Amino acid sequence: MAERAGLDLDDINEDEVDIASLTGPKNPKPKVDRKELNKVSEEAGFVSRQAPRQRRRGGRTAYTQQKNFKMRPDMPELFADVADGLGIKDYELLEMAIQALLAKQKMKDELERFKSITS
Residues that bind another protein (CB under 8 A): 14, 16-17, 19-23, 25-26, 29-30, 32, 34, 36-38, 40-50
Nearer to another protein, 50 or 119 (CB): 50
d(CA 28, CA 5) in angstroms, rounded, equals: 52
CA–CA distances in Å: residue 27 to residues 8, 24, 71, 118: 42, 10, 74, 62
Q: Which is nearer to another protein, 24 or 73 (CB)?
A: 24
CA 119 to CA 117: how far, in whole Å? 6
Query: Which residue's CB is nearer to another protein, number 7 or number 22?
Result: 22
12/32 with CB nearer another protein: 32
CB of 19 to another protein, least distance (A): 5
Tell the smallest beta-carbon distance from residue 42 to another protein (Å).
Answer: 8
Least CB distance from residue 57 to another protein, whole Å? 24
Distances in Å between the alpha carbon of 42 and those of 37, 38, 52? Answer: 9, 6, 16
The minimum distance between CB 44 and another protein, in angstroms, equals 4
Distance (Å, rounded) from C-alpha 92 to C-alpha 77? 16
